[in-house]
Structure 1
């Protein structure tokens, strides 16, 4: 009886978000003394050869255009703040990195002092200050503060729903329009790393981020986690379940990014709008387990994976990380089976993935043969 009470007192996962917490000695999911604590994800940067084509998809996906020049495109949501996406004209498509929003300009200066990198002003179209870092995987991470704030735009209000015995809508019908799902804001970005553990610790120690959920390859919990969902530490103010998600894999690369919309009807009707215009749905509609959000994944014309989401989990800093096996079937509570396109096992992706695996196994990193076996089990599970 005493042992049972002791276990219950130290296990914050019962009836919260994950059935299991850490075992003794496993990663705590947070740093004791981070350099700063970032407040949110500010924007993502891409290079694209055809900005007109990129803007056409973006408008169909639900973005608004904040800035358009012959060489640059800024895309925004309806929330006040900075643009969600900065796209620049280039000869080839490439993910250019992410920007994290510091609490204030003092934190940008503190980070520059601690890291030895210089602070520089951002372009006038954005305003504010930035310090540019590079994570251990080689991804550029720009930390920003003091930007001009774009005014809030009219949003797409969620529908009034009759749920169970609660009748909030009487003498009125539901007719959601088949229009773009109006993006409200940038929610998160998912990255893959060949140096997963070192990169994870860098985000926690540099930016004060904390892990919401860990996942491990089937049968390899003894090797530590292979996936982490990381949120901003805003104290008692809840933050998105994950702002950055990091996965161990055979290449250092962008996986996908996610953008919030108002509700399930906006997400579903927006998906019909995209489908009617010939765009490729990668996977959806469904509800995730880690993060709980409703999701719908699409490929843009340059092959980048982007997600509409709504109704995601929000955690304050009292929630400890959960632990679960990393499996394909465990990616959703309900919805269609996970697609080969999403997993990267379709014919279009398989050849590139095979080359990445061979290169990773020959290099000095965390992706060894046992990890390859674990990753293959994820796709098959």
Structure 2
């Protein structure tokens, strides 16, 4: 099979009034690979291990998932929209993020990816079936690409509320607004955020192997000449709009999971669902607010194993014509409105573990050096 021709990209005035104050300077990272191996169409699911599946399932239902299937050793969780399950939690000795699973556009893409990487296509014998190629990204995180997994049919969804807005609008008459305090129904998996000590290598790997493209770059103040330190990355579906980011990555002293995000119906579902979680004693991390990169309304929570999960609604959708935006990284630049980003969300609460990660990163061969580390600390406190 011949490799697909690259899709033409418009570069005309891609930033004014859209998603960034400025675009790239001459010679900066283009935000996409010229000839990617394949172009994945979405995240399929995320994989974790946890020792207590009962506790994991209880939180999952409180957060808004439903159980798609469960065995003695594995829990499959889904959202309300049609598609694959969005979380797989396997019983294990410790709570651990395993890695992301992406969806290939067709079966031939799996074969092409396997040939290009020296791996094999093998059948998936668990819930949903299908075929998979197992890879390892430059950070050491397992990455799977699947095709042919059985999709779950859509379930009845939580409906957005009807609003009376403007001077003359009367969409809701003789009816009150009483959104119930219940779990905010998770509709689908939206995105995953990772931290990596080898940001540039990992970024290029995802762009080249999976055909992802960058929506926005962030760089450290005074260090733009050294390149970006965070990227918000979307799927390239051509003219079909995709989420502003399906994957986000930033340079940091550790490798691995930062948070994952799940779409809900609207602001009221998000807020009432948050009250439901608060009443049940779960830890709130940050929100409610509206992000800048991606524009989504957000609310962040910790599960009982301290993994961070986000409810979001009203995120940006971009087609493949938009070039990456560029902006300086700062804690205050994470939101248009809402409370200041918490230490818990930023991961800046002092701890022996945090100090160990920083020292370890400085001693290893990676992209973390003293100037980068000080720049990251400054950004997270600005």
Tell me the CA shift for residue 124 of structure 1. Answer: 4.0
Once the two structures are superposed, the pairs formed by residues 218-367 of structure 1 within 5 Å of their partners are 218-347=221-350, 350-367=351-368
Match of 1:168 in 2: 171
Structure 2 residue aligned with 1:77: 79
2:125, 2:288 → 1: CA distance? 38
CA distance in 1, matches of 2:114, 2:12: 38
Structure 2 SS opposite 1:219:
coil
SS of the aligned residue for 2:47 comes to strand
Q: Distance in 2 between matches of 1:361 and 1:270?
A: 41
TM-score by length of 1: 0.96
Rounded to whole Å, the distance in 1 between the matches of 2:17 and 2:96 is 41
Match of 1:41? 43
Taking the aligned partners of 1:366 and 1:247, their CA distance within structure 2 comes to 11
What do residues 300-323 of structure 1 show as CA deviations (whole Å, max 9, x unaligned)? 001100000000000000111000
Q: In the alignment, which residue of structure 1 is the partner of 2:219? A: 216
How far the C-alpha of 1:185 sits from its partner, in A, is 0.1
3-state SS of paired residue (1:323):
strand
Match of 1:6 in 2: none
Compute the TM-score of the two structures, normalised by the length of structure 2: 0.96
C-alpha distance in 2, partners of 1:39/1:111?
14
1:123: Cα distance to partner? Answer: 2.1
Distance 2:353 2:164 in 1: 48
Instruction: Please name the residue that 2:58 is paired with.
Output: 56
How far apart are 1:351 and its partner, in Å?
A: 2.2
Q: Tell me the secondary structure at the aligned position of residue 301 of structure 2.
A: strand
| Partner in structure 2 of residue 5 of structure 1 | none
Distance in 2 between residues matched to 1:228 and 1:117, nearest whole Å? 27
Q: Please state how far the C-alpha of 1:10 moved relative to its aligned partner.
A: 4.5
Q: Secondary structure of the equivalent of 1:373?
A: helix
SS in 1 for 2:46: strand
SS at match of 2:59: helix
Supply the distance in 1 between the matched residues of 2:33 and 2:380 (Cα, whole angstroms).
31
Spell out structure 1 runs of 4+ moving beyond 4 A.
none
Q: CA deviation at 1:346?
A: 2.2
> 2:8 is matched with which residue?
none
CA RMSD between the two structures: 0.9
- Give, in angstroms, the shift of residue 135 of structure 1: 0.4
Structure 1 equivalent of residue 93 of structure 2: 91
1:183 pairs with 182, 186, 203, which one? Answer: 186
